[in-house]
Protein backbone atom coordinates (compact mmCIF):
# COMPACT_ATOMS: atom_id res chain seq x y z
CA UNK A 1 0.00 0.00 0.00
CA UNK A 2 1.19 3.51 -0.80
CA UNK A 3 2.69 5.44 2.10
CA UNK A 4 0.78 8.65 2.76
CA UNK A 5 0.65 11.59 2.56
CA UNK A 6 2.15 12.19 -0.87
CA UNK A 7 3.51 15.51 -2.08
CA UNK A 8 2.59 17.03 -5.40
CA UNK A 9 4.86 19.92 -6.30
CA UNK A 10 3.23 22.77 -8.19
CA UNK A 11 5.87 24.20 -10.54
CA UNK A 12 3.83 27.10 -11.97
CA UNK A 13 6.17 29.69 -10.54
CA UNK A 14 9.20 28.23 -12.28
CA UNK A 15 7.30 29.14 -15.45
CA UNK A 16 6.38 32.54 -13.95
CA UNK A 17 10.09 33.40 -13.76
CA UNK A 18 10.61 32.31 -17.38
CA UNK A 19 7.58 34.22 -18.70
CA UNK A 20 8.67 37.38 -16.85
CA UNK A 21 11.53 37.82 -19.32
CA UNK A 22 10.65 35.44 -22.15
CA UNK A 23 13.91 33.59 -21.59
CA UNK A 24 14.50 29.90 -22.36
CA UNK A 25 15.37 29.41 -18.67
CA UNK A 26 14.55 28.19 -16.07
CA UNK A 27 13.97 24.83 -17.75
CA UNK A 28 10.59 23.58 -16.53
CA UNK A 29 11.25 19.94 -17.30
CA UNK A 30 14.59 20.08 -15.46
CA UNK A 31 12.74 21.56 -12.47
CA UNK A 32 10.13 18.80 -12.61
CA UNK A 33 12.86 16.16 -12.72
CA UNK A 34 14.57 17.64 -9.66
CA UNK A 35 11.23 17.50 -7.80
CA UNK A 36 10.74 13.88 -8.89
CA UNK A 37 14.17 12.78 -7.81
CA UNK A 38 13.76 14.62 -4.49
CA UNK A 39 10.65 12.57 -3.73
CA UNK A 40 7.67 14.44 -5.17
CA UNK A 41 5.08 11.86 -6.16
CA UNK A 42 3.22 14.16 -8.51
CA UNK A 43 3.84 17.26 -10.58
CA UNK A 44 1.06 19.84 -10.60
CA UNK A 45 0.62 22.63 -13.12
CA UNK A 46 -2.16 25.14 -13.70
CA UNK A 47 -2.85 25.95 -17.33
CA UNK A 48 -4.60 29.27 -16.82
CA UNK A 49 -6.85 30.69 -19.52
CA UNK A 50 -4.59 33.79 -19.68
CA UNK A 51 -1.47 31.53 -20.00
CA UNK A 52 0.39 33.76 -17.54
CA UNK A 53 2.82 31.03 -16.54
CA UNK A 54 2.32 27.47 -17.81
CA UNK A 55 1.97 27.18 -21.61
CA UNK A 56 0.24 24.47 -23.67
CA UNK A 57 3.62 23.17 -24.86
CA UNK A 58 4.79 22.81 -21.23
CA UNK A 59 1.87 20.55 -20.41
CA UNK A 60 2.44 18.41 -23.52
CA UNK A 61 6.16 18.08 -22.77
CA UNK A 62 5.64 17.21 -19.11
CA UNK A 63 2.95 14.72 -20.06
CA UNK A 64 5.40 12.91 -22.34
CA UNK A 65 8.44 13.03 -20.08
CA UNK A 66 7.32 12.82 -16.44
CA UNK A 67 7.93 9.62 -14.50
CA UNK A 68 5.36 10.54 -11.82
CA UNK A 69 1.66 11.33 -12.35
CA UNK A 70 0.63 14.75 -13.60
CA UNK A 71 -2.12 16.83 -12.01
CA UNK A 72 -3.54 19.54 -14.25
CA UNK A 73 -5.29 22.37 -12.44
CA UNK A 74 -7.86 23.81 -14.80
CA UNK A 75 -10.94 25.96 -15.18
CA UNK A 76 -14.13 24.38 -16.50
CA UNK A 77 -13.96 26.45 -19.72
CA UNK A 78 -14.70 24.40 -22.86
CA UNK A 79 -11.36 25.13 -24.57
CA UNK A 80 -9.40 23.97 -21.51
CA UNK A 81 -11.53 20.85 -21.16
CA UNK A 82 -10.83 20.01 -24.84
CA UNK A 83 -7.11 20.51 -24.21
CA UNK A 84 -7.23 18.25 -21.13
CA UNK A 85 -8.99 15.52 -23.08
CA UNK A 86 -6.21 15.64 -25.68
CA UNK A 87 -3.29 15.68 -23.22
CA UNK A 88 -4.91 13.33 -20.72
CA UNK A 89 -3.21 14.14 -17.41
CA UNK A 90 -3.59 11.51 -14.66
CA UNK A 91 -5.64 13.98 -12.63
CA UNK A 92 -7.53 17.15 -13.39
CA UNK A 93 -8.19 19.48 -10.49
CA UNK A 94 -11.10 21.76 -11.37
CA UNK A 95 -10.62 25.28 -10.04
CA UNK A 96 -12.50 28.57 -10.29
CA UNK A 97 -10.58 31.11 -12.30
CA UNK A 98 -10.78 34.88 -12.49
CA UNK A 99 -8.62 36.82 -14.93
CA UNK A 100 -7.43 39.47 -12.49
CA UNK A 101 -6.74 37.34 -9.44
CA UNK A 102 -3.14 36.90 -8.29
CA UNK A 103 -3.80 33.28 -7.38
CA UNK A 104 -6.86 31.00 -7.13
CA UNK A 105 -9.32 32.74 -4.81
CA UNK A 106 -11.93 30.59 -3.08
CA UNK A 107 -13.14 27.15 -4.05
CA UNK A 108 -15.40 26.05 -6.90
CA UNK A 109 -19.06 26.95 -6.51
CA UNK A 110 -20.35 23.38 -6.64
CA UNK A 111 -23.90 24.46 -5.89
CA UNK A 112 -24.40 27.23 -8.49
CA UNK A 113 -22.35 25.54 -11.21
CA UNK A 114 -23.58 22.04 -10.45
CA UNK A 115 -24.76 21.13 -13.95
CA UNK A 116 -21.68 22.38 -15.79
CA UNK A 117 -19.28 20.79 -13.29
CA UNK A 118 -21.10 17.46 -13.50
CA UNK A 119 -20.77 17.52 -17.31
CA UNK A 120 -17.06 18.34 -17.16
CA UNK A 121 -16.40 15.60 -14.57
CA UNK A 122 -18.17 13.03 -16.69
CA UNK A 123 -16.35 14.05 -19.91
CA UNK A 124 -12.95 13.93 -18.23
CA UNK A 125 -13.60 10.62 -16.50
CA UNK A 126 -14.77 9.08 -19.78
CA UNK A 127 -11.47 10.29 -21.25
CA UNK A 128 -9.54 8.42 -18.56
CA UNK A 129 -8.77 11.44 -16.36
CA UNK A 130 -9.53 11.31 -12.64
CA UNK A 131 -11.10 14.45 -11.26
CA UNK A 132 -10.68 16.39 -8.05
CA UNK A 133 -12.62 19.52 -7.14
CA UNK A 134 -10.83 22.43 -5.48
CA UNK A 135 -13.38 23.40 -2.87
CA UNK A 136 -13.92 25.23 0.40
CA UNK A 137 -13.78 22.97 3.46
CA UNK A 138 -17.52 22.87 4.09
CA UNK A 139 -19.88 20.01 4.92
CA UNK A 140 -22.51 20.82 2.26
CA UNK A 141 -19.79 21.18 -0.34
CA UNK A 142 -18.36 17.72 0.49
CA UNK A 143 -21.81 16.20 -0.01
CA UNK A 144 -22.26 18.05 -3.29
CA UNK A 145 -18.84 16.88 -4.52
CA UNK A 146 -19.86 13.31 -3.82
CA UNK A 147 -23.18 13.75 -5.65
CA UNK A 148 -21.38 15.26 -8.64
CA UNK A 149 -19.30 12.10 -8.98
CA UNK A 150 -15.85 13.57 -8.32
CA UNK A 151 -13.02 11.15 -7.45
CA UNK A 152 -11.50 13.55 -4.92
CA UNK A 153 -11.79 16.90 -3.24
CA UNK A 154 -8.84 19.21 -2.81
CA UNK A 155 -9.57 21.29 0.27
CA UNK A 156 -8.72 24.97 -0.19
CA UNK A 157 -6.50 25.73 2.78
CA UNK A 158 -5.61 29.30 1.78
CA UNK A 159 -7.48 31.07 4.56
CA UNK A 160 -6.16 28.68 7.20
CA UNK A 161 -2.59 29.14 5.98
CA UNK A 162 -2.79 32.95 5.87
CA UNK A 163 -4.28 32.97 9.38
CA UNK A 164 -1.47 30.73 10.66
CA UNK A 165 1.04 33.09 9.08
CA UNK A 166 -0.61 35.84 11.16
CA UNK A 167 -1.38 38.03 8.16
CA UNK A 168 -5.14 38.32 8.73
CA UNK A 169 -4.73 40.90 11.46
CA UNK A 170 -5.61 40.58 15.12
CA UNK A 171 -8.17 37.83 14.46
CA UNK A 172 -5.60 35.58 12.78
CA UNK A 173 -5.38 33.12 15.63
CA UNK A 174 -9.14 32.79 16.01
CA UNK A 175 -9.59 32.36 12.25
CA UNK A 176 -6.86 29.71 12.16
CA UNK A 177 -8.65 27.69 14.86
CA UNK A 178 -12.01 27.93 13.07
CA UNK A 179 -10.50 27.02 9.70
CA UNK A 180 -8.59 24.11 11.22
CA UNK A 181 -11.86 22.65 12.53
CA UNK A 182 -13.58 23.16 9.16
CA UNK A 183 -10.74 21.36 7.40
CA UNK A 184 -10.79 18.49 9.90
CA UNK A 185 -14.58 18.01 9.80
CA UNK A 186 -14.69 18.26 6.00
CA UNK A 187 -11.82 15.80 5.56
CA UNK A 188 -13.47 13.25 7.88
CA UNK A 189 -16.78 13.57 6.05
CA UNK A 190 -15.25 13.46 2.55
CA UNK A 191 -13.27 10.33 3.40
CA UNK A 192 -16.35 8.65 4.87
CA UNK A 193 -18.21 9.46 1.64
CA UNK A 194 -15.54 7.57 -0.30
CA UNK A 195 -13.77 10.61 -1.74
CA UNK A 196 -10.00 10.90 -1.87
CA UNK A 197 -8.96 13.92 0.20
CA UNK A 198 -6.27 16.30 -1.02
CA UNK A 199 -5.31 19.75 0.26
CA UNK A 200 -3.55 22.77 -1.11
CA UNK A 201 -2.95 26.49 -1.17
CA UNK A 202 -0.73 28.58 1.05
CA UNK A 203 1.22 25.84 2.80
CA UNK A 204 4.69 26.61 4.09
CA UNK A 205 7.15 24.70 6.23
CA UNK A 206 5.46 25.88 9.43
CA UNK A 207 1.73 25.78 8.77
CA UNK A 208 1.59 22.42 6.97
CA UNK A 209 2.36 20.11 9.88
CA UNK A 210 -0.87 20.52 11.88
CA UNK A 211 -2.86 19.59 8.76
CA UNK A 212 -0.58 16.76 7.63
CA UNK A 213 -0.82 15.38 11.18
CA UNK A 214 -4.62 14.97 11.02
CA UNK A 215 -5.54 11.29 11.34
CA UNK A 216 -8.64 9.16 10.89
CA UNK A 217 -9.86 6.62 13.47
CA UNK A 218 -7.38 4.04 12.09
CA UNK A 219 -4.50 6.47 12.60
CA UNK A 220 -4.14 6.87 8.86
CA UNK A 221 -3.47 10.38 7.52
CA UNK A 222 -6.78 12.09 6.74
CA UNK A 223 -5.24 14.04 3.88
CA UNK A 224 -3.71 11.80 1.22
CA UNK A 225 -2.10 14.44 -0.91
CA UNK A 226 -0.66 17.93 -0.57
CA UNK A 227 -0.18 20.16 -3.60
CA UNK A 228 2.34 22.84 -2.71
CA UNK A 229 4.03 25.38 -4.94
CA UNK A 230 4.83 28.94 -4.00
CA UNK A 231 6.62 28.34 -0.70
CA UNK A 232 8.77 25.55 -2.19
CA UNK A 233 9.89 27.71 -5.12
CA UNK A 234 10.57 30.62 -2.70
CA UNK A 235 12.62 28.37 -0.44
CA UNK A 236 14.53 27.07 -3.46
CA UNK A 237 15.65 30.65 -4.18
CA UNK A 238 17.28 30.86 -0.76
CA UNK A 239 18.81 27.40 -0.60
CA UNK A 240 20.02 27.58 -4.21
CA UNK A 241 21.39 31.13 -4.36
CA UNK A 242 24.85 30.36 -3.05
CA UNK A 243 25.51 27.76 -5.76
CA UNK A 244 24.08 30.06 -8.44
CA UNK A 245 26.50 32.86 -7.42
CA UNK A 246 29.45 30.44 -7.38
CA UNK A 247 28.57 29.25 -10.87
CA UNK A 248 28.38 32.82 -12.21
CA UNK A 249 31.69 33.75 -10.56
CA UNK A 250 33.28 30.82 -12.37
CA UNK A 251 31.56 31.77 -15.65
CA UNK A 252 32.95 35.33 -15.59
CA UNK A 253 36.34 34.06 -14.47
CA UNK A 254 36.28 36.13 -11.29
CA UNK A 255 39.42 35.44 -9.28
N1 LIG B 1 -3.85 23.71 -5.31
C2 LIG B 1 -4.54 24.53 -6.15
C3 LIG B 1 -5.86 24.07 -6.67
C4 LIG B 1 -4.02 25.78 -6.55
O5 LIG B 1 -4.72 26.58 -7.37
C6 LIG B 1 -2.74 26.14 -6.07
C7 LIG B 1 -2.13 27.43 -6.54
O8 LIG B 1 -1.86 27.34 -7.91
C9 LIG B 1 -2.06 25.25 -5.22
C10 LIG B 1 -2.64 24.05 -4.85
C11 LIG B 1 -0.69 25.57 -4.68
O12 LIG B 1 -0.76 26.67 -3.84
P13 LIG B 1 0.59 27.34 -3.33
O14 LIG B 1 1.34 27.82 -4.54
O15 LIG B 1 0.12 28.44 -2.45
O16 LIG B 1 1.35 26.28 -2.60
Q: Tell me: domain 6-252, CATH 3.65.10.10, correct?
A: no
Residues with CB under 6 A from ligand 1: 10, 12, 46, 73, 93, 95, 103-104, 134, 154, 200-203, 227-231
Nearest CA to ligand 1 atom 7: 201
Nearest CA to ligand 1 atom 3: 134
Nearest CA to ligand 1 atom 5: 104
Nearest CA to ligand 1 atom 12: 201
Nearest CA to ligand 1 atom 6: 201
Mutation test residue for ligand 1: of 70, 76, 230, the one with most atoms within 8 Å of CB: 230
Q: What is the pLDDT of residue 101?
A: 75
The dihedrals phi and psi of 83, each to the nearest 5 degrees, come to: -60, -45
Ligand 1 atom nearest to CA at 228: 16
pLDDT in tens, 80-130: 999 999 999 999 999 998 767 777 778 999 999 999 999 999 999 999 999
Residue 83 CA to ligand 1 center (angstroms) comes to 20
Instruction: Give the active site residues.
Output: 46, 73, 201
Q: What is the pLDDT of residue 99?
A: 67
The CA-atom distances, in angstroms, between 151 and each of 68, 142, 228 are 19, 12, 20
- Say how far residue 152 (Cα) sits from the centre of its chain: 13
Ligand 1 atom nearest to CA at 158: 15
Give the chain's residues under pLDDT 70: 99
DSSP 128-180: T-EEEEEE-S-HHHHHHHHHHT-SEEEEE-HHHHHHHTT-SGGGHHHHHHHHH
Residue 58 CA to ligand 1 center (angstroms) comes to 18
Where in the chain are the domains?
Answer: 6-252
Residue 5 CA to ligand 1 center (angstroms) comes to 17
Residue 64 CA to ligand 1 center (angstroms) comes to 23
Query: Is the sign of the CA dihedral 148, 153, 158, 161 positive or negative?
Result: positive
Taking the C-alpha atoms of residue 67 and residue 158, their distance in angstroms, rounded to an integer, is 29
- Say how far residue 108 (Cα) sits from the centre of its chain: 14
Q: What is the pLDDT of residue 30?
A: 98
pLDDT in tens, 238-250: 999 999 999 999 9
- Flag whether the pTM goes above 0.75: yes
Amino acid sequence: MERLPRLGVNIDHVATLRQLRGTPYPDLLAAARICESAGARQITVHLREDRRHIQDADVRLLRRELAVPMNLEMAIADSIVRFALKTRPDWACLVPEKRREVTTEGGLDVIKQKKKIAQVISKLQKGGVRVSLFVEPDVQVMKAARELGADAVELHTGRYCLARQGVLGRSSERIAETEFKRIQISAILAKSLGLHVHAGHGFDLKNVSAISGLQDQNREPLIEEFNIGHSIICRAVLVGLEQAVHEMLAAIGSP
